[in-house]
């Protein structure tokens, strides 16, 4: 069995879907501009330098899912997909995904961004599996809490191990495994697969990839 994993933000996308969702909500007047924009920017900077408190961030990021009706959220998301996400998908990313879908047994996006935001993006790519941070839902309503392990840093390793265990295998027993990512935050999982690939990497990941002779590619053209 072959496995191919893609990080989403700044890997398959030429931008960050979580950050852009926050900016989109600001543009719709769904959240307070001054407060939310400052917090959104600060968390994004923390993520880039590797000091993000994932639980603090999720408490912030999931709050709008609680305060707005699901029908309104879904309508906003459709507009967000059209105006923010589809323009951030490079053709090279679509082509890479298509090649792997033709050859691999399992293809998945694995991302820290919550599944409400990312499930439609996975569908846009035609990728059948999504491993993401799952917002808790009770009775069809979001609670603002996280269900299970956040899919971030070492949490990505935990989540992929759970995903594979449900299919009766492990990373070590796979015939082949690939993971494409831009971020040093993904080093715990990159170091577990047979073919780690740095995609438009941040400086820390680029240095690590070059030191370990990992492929470094760009999907941005």
Examine the residue annotation and report whether 9 is marked as an active-site residue of this protein. yes
- Annotation: CATH topology of 2-217: Rossmann fold (3.40.50)
Token digits of residue 65: 């899912």
Structure-token match 């935990």, residue found:
158
Catalytic residue among 9, 18, 182, 186: 9
pLDDT band, very low/low/confident/very high, at 221 (cuts 50, 70, 90): confident
pLDDT digits (tens, 9 = 90+) for 119-169: 999 999 999 999 999 999 999 899 999 999 999 999 999 999 999 999 999
Residue 41's nearest CA partner among 55, 60, 28 is 60
pLDDT digits (tens, 9 = 90+) for 47-74: 888 899 999 999 999 999 999 999 999 9
Percent of the chain with pLDDT over 90: 93
Q: How far apart are CA 137 and CA 20, in angstroms?
A: 23
pLDDT digits (tens, 9 = 90+) for 8-27: 999 999 999 999 999 999 99
Residue 50's nearest CA partner among 153, 131, 133 is 153
Catalytic residue among 7, 16, 18, 182: 7
Q: How far apart are CA 132 and CA 20, in angstroms?
A: 17
At residue 26, φ and ψ (nearest 5 deg) are: -60, -45
Question: Do residues 21 and 67 touch, judged by C-beta distance below 8 A?
Answer: no
Examine the residue annotation and report whether 95 is marked as an active-site residue of this protein. no
Residue 10's nearest CA partner among 217, 191, 199, 213 is 199
Structure-token match 């840093």, residue found:
153
């Amino acid at each position: 069995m072959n496995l191919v994993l893609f990080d989403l933000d700044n890997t398959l996308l030429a931008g960050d879907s979580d950050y852009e969702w926050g900016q989109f909500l600001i543009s719709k007047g769904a959240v307070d501009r001054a407060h939310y924009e400052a917090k959104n920017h600060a968390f994004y900077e923390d993520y880039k330098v590797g000091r993000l408190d994932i639980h603090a961030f999720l408490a912030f990021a999931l709050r709008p899912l609680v305060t707005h009706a699901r029908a309104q959220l879904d309508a906003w998301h459709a507009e967000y997909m059209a105006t923010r996400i589809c323009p951030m998908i490079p053709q090279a990313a679509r082509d890479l995904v298509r090649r792997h879908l033709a050859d691999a047994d399992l293809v998945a996006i694995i991302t820290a961004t919550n599944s409400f935001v990312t499930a439609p993006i996975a569908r846009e790519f035609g990728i059948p599996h999504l491993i993401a941070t799952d917002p808790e839902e009770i009775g069809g309503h979001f609670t603002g809490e996280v269900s299970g392990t956040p899919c971030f840093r070492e949490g990505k390793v935990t989540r992929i191990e759970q995903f594979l265990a449900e299919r009766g295998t492990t990373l070590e027993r796979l015939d082949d495994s690939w993971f494409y990512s831009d971020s040093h935050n993904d080093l715990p999982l990159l170091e577990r697969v047979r073919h780690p690939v740095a995609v438009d990497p941040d400086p820390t990941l680029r240095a690590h990839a070059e030191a370990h002779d990992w492929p470094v590619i760009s999907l941005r053209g």
